[in-house]
Amino acid sequence: MDVFNAMTAESVGEILKEAGAEVMVRSGRSESYSAPREFSFEVKAIFPNGMGMHVVARQFNYRDPWEGKGRVNDLVDVMLLRNGALTPLPKGYPLFQGVEEECGLDEERLKEVVECVRKVNVKLYLLQEMTGDM
């Protein structure tokens, strides 16, 4: 079995809170199979720099055939928001280049994304819009 770190709405919320973001957490699919199956949980965050993130765990992965102990979320998708709309990052950042969503992130990669977004200087958007780079 591969080594993985299961993520929960609470653990993702803590990662974002530790980075200084205001966080809202919502669980989607409950333990009941009659619950909506679009997502397991979602976490929304806004950082002091005004950048926002919408983290979604769409489905559980199953690590054993009977779902006894193996039902986990070990991958999430992250959408980047600015002024309430989806946005890529300005040029010069290693993520969100030409896309508004990074998909299939494990916990370590999520932490890298959070750290990157936390440090974004939003004045770069204006500068790159003025120079035609964005």
In the beta sheet, which residues pair with residue 57?
Answer: 41
**Amino acid 1: pLDDT:** 41
Q: How, if at all, do strands 101-105 and 76-82 pair?
A: antiparallel
Is position 106 within any domain? yes
Which is more confident, 33 or 77? 77
* 48 class by beta-carbon count within 10 Å (0-12 exposed, 13-18 middle, 19+ buried): exposed
Angle between helices 107-118 and 9-18 (to 10 degrees): 30
Q: What is the pTM of this model?
A: 0.80
Question: Cβ–Cβ contacts within 10 Å for residue 94, how many?
Answer: 9
Is position 28 within any domain? yes
Is position 3 within any domain? no
Is position 118 within any domain? yes
Range of the domain at 125: 9-131
Mean pLDDT of the region 23-35: 67
For the chain, the domain total comes to 1
Is position 41 within any domain? yes
Is position 22 within any domain? yes
Is position 26 within any domain? yes
- CA–CA dist 96, 50 (Å, integer): 16
Quick: pLDDT tens for 35-92. 455 567 889 999 999 999 999 987 655 555 544 455 557 788 999 999 989 999 988 8
